[in-house]
Chain A
Amino acid sequence: MVTQTLDQVGAETAVDSVPACTDLVEYYYERGWHDGLPVVPPTEEKIDAVVAALGGDPQFVECKVAPRWGALTREVLAINMVMAGCRPEYAPIVRAAMLALTDRAFNLNGVQATTHVASPLVVVNGPIAAQVGMNGGANAFGSGNRANATIGRAVRLIMLNVGGGWPPDFDKSTLGHPGKYTYCVAENEADSPYAPYHVDHGYNPTDSTVFVIAAEAPHSVTDHQCNDPEGILDTMCSAMSTIASNSAVLGGHCTVALGLEHAKTIAKAGWTRSDIRHYLWMYSGNSFRAISRDNCYGKVYNRNLPKWLKRDPDTRIPIVPSSDNIHLFIMGGHAGRFSAFIPGWGHMSTPVLKPIDSAAGPAGNGCTDGVCAL
């Protein structure tokens, strides 16, 4: 494996020339500019098309990416998008995702460096998802959709190449997870019985947004028996309540992807999104006795829970501090009584919701320039 250096060799420009007979896929491997999979060798024409989709001005710096703090110019963003296999029309989504990830609230520096498995999950809402052909339906988290796969891959390539999150030096993850190749989906707005996530957060249905959260891989939640909200959600609570996740011991935020069959059963009973989130918050969690192992290893676990939780053995410790910290999306195909719980990294990172069209966005406290730290 090539050892990366922090400096960009050649400094002034991102371009160089090599003999025409060069195997370009191998060239990018040899330089260490890859994610383990072969990259699409960028061409001037493809890069220019992406830069044009971003509004021109190739040297405009969109953001700097931790922990290397490389400058993400539109040209560099375009190079990485082409390498990932993106089409130019995906450019606004990738840019919005990177701006959300580099919002201070997200703490990308920590997410890149952590020994935990966490990787940014990107969820796209609004008309742009369908316009670029994203999948929120069957196999949404799986393979087979170019937009999902390459948008998520572009984000990861930027985190590696520009952010310097190379394992095992800057990315210290003990295990990682497959979402560190690509982790991008859309909500299934067309088939959902509920208003989309971004509308629930104050946007118009005609707005498009990206949501980013530091996330584990999806944990499947199977329930083929229950035909009422309480039963289905109790099963979800069971999945949420393991003490093995960072969410259980470090709070923060988590994601629930409710499958269509489950969502429709719950909606048919008249439950709202708010009802679902509050029920999940109310009936998931663990006793302090369980989380602290009854203090048999000392009281070090006390320090990472919110101060307002009593340290009594029978105190219920919720998975996250508020029902607002459970991010609910309706996803998946028409058939199958499956949902998913996706634990977060903990209180160290705050998810960010950002409009893809910067003209959109709710006003109000906690939001700046259309960006809301959730």
Chain B
Amino acid sequence: MLMKVSDANSVLVFDPRGLVDSGDTPIAPRPKKLDGLRLAVLDNSKWNANKVLRTSTAALEKSVKFAKVNYYVKHSFSKDAEPELIAEIAANNDLVLTAIGDCGSCCSCCIRDSVALEKLGIPAAAIITTEFERETELTRTALGMQGLIPIVIDHPVSSITQAEIESRAAQVALQAPKVWLGREE
């Protein structure tokens, strides 16, 4: 088992972490423009995710003419979306907006869903809150997609007022086009 030996002047130490084999998978190709594309909105069913997503979509539609907006809800915010739901979204849409990553498991699963969709060629914008930026960095690294960029909005989300929802939606509307296009618009 061992690659090194100890002698009278040395002693062996052991790394308990195990190897990670994640590689670096590129994100999906980016479109040149957003008008005419079909947007999937993936609601993770967390408190206020629906309000943030609907308000953000309305804000985005002021400047982008989506061909269609399809709304999806996954049952558990702390679990990955079912593979069937990911496949359905990928088959019927060109872009994804998903929320809300405002808790540890919610953020992790929003990023995991986004990675799954990017691998299927769909640019995905996951909305997380400021408290979960570091977790997002580690998660995308562990999953081997360093290039995945999230939308970061102010924490918290689950108990905020409608005025605060609109303020978060403005942050989303500013960042989402950059994530989808892979550049400043």
Contacts and interface: CB of A to CB of B under 8 A. Distances in A.
Interface in B120-156: 131-132, 134-135, 138-139, 141-143
B84 interface: no
Interface string B72-84: 0001111110000
Interface stretch (B15-23, B30-38, B61-69, B168-176): B15-23
Nearest to B80: A109
Interface in A77-116: 79-80, 83, 107, 109-111, 113-115
Interface string B1-33: 111111011111111111111100000000000
A22 B11 contact: yes
B48 interface: yes
B134 A79 contact: no
A38 to B, nearest CB: 14
Contact of A15 (B2, B135, B138, B159): B2
B19 A346 contact: no
Contact of B109 (A10, A80, A109, A164): A109
Interface stretch (A65-73, A191-199, A223-231, A277-285): A65-73
Interface stretch (B90-98, B100-108, B177-185): B100-108
B56 to A, nearest CB: 17
Interface residues of A, number: 67
Contact of A113 (B17, B75, B135): B135
Given A16-B12, A18-B11, A107-B79, A71 B21 contact: yes
A242 interface: no
B71 interface: no
B103 to A, nearest CB: 5
A12 interface: yes
A67 B4 contact: no
Interface stretch (A139-147, A169-177, A200-208): A169-177
B19 A71 contact: yes
Contacts of A33: 15-17
Given A109-B109, A110-B78, A113-B135, A80 B16 contact: yes
B11 A24 contact: yes
Contacts of A286: none
Contact of A6 (B10, B108, B132, B138): B138
Interface string A36-63: 0000011110011001000000100000
B19 A51 contact: no
Contacts of B143: 69
B105 A13 contact: no
A169 B133 CA distance: 9
A43 B12 contact: yes
Contacts of B16: 14, 33, 42, 76, 79-80, 83, 157, 161-162
A70 B17 contact: yes
Contacts of B1: 15, 44, 47-48, 51, 58, 75
Contact of B14 (A79, A111, A170, A297): A79
A100 B142 CA distance: 22
Given A17-B6, A67-B139, A169-B135, A113 B105 contact: yes
Contacts of A157: 16
A70 B142 CA distance: 9
Contacts of B105: 109-111, 113-115, 172, 348
A172 B17 contact: no
B22 A69 contact: yes
Contacts of A20: 6, 8-11
A310 B131 CA distance: 35
B109 A12 contact: no
B45 interface: yes
Contacts of B135: 113, 169-170, 172
Contacts of A271: none
A10 B16 CA distance: 12
Interface of B: 1-6, 8-22, 45, 47-48, 50, 75-80, 103-105, 107-109, 112, 131-132, 134-135, 138-139, 141-143, 159
Closest 8 CB pairs between A and B?
A172-B104, A70-B18, A348-B78, A110-B105, A113-B104, A110-B78, A13-B3, A161-B16
24 contacts: A8-B17, A8-B18, A9-B15, A13-B4, A15-B2, A15-B3, A15-B4, A16-B12, A42-B13, A44-B12, A48-B1, A58-B1, A67-B108, A68-B17, A69-B143, A71-B18, A71-B20, A72-B18, A109-B112, A114-B105, A162-B18, A170-B138, A172-B103, A348-B77
Given A6-B22, A172-B135, 13 more contacts: A14-B16, A15-B12, A16-B15, A19-B9, A19-B10, A76-B17, A107-B79, A109-B80, A109-B109, A113-B107, A115-B105, A161-B16, A348-B77
Interface of A: 6-20, 22, 24, 27-28, 33, 41-44, 47-48, 51, 58, 65, 67-73, 75-76, 79-80, 83, 107, 109-111, 113-115, 157, 161-162, 164, 169-173, 297, 300-301, 303-304, 345-349
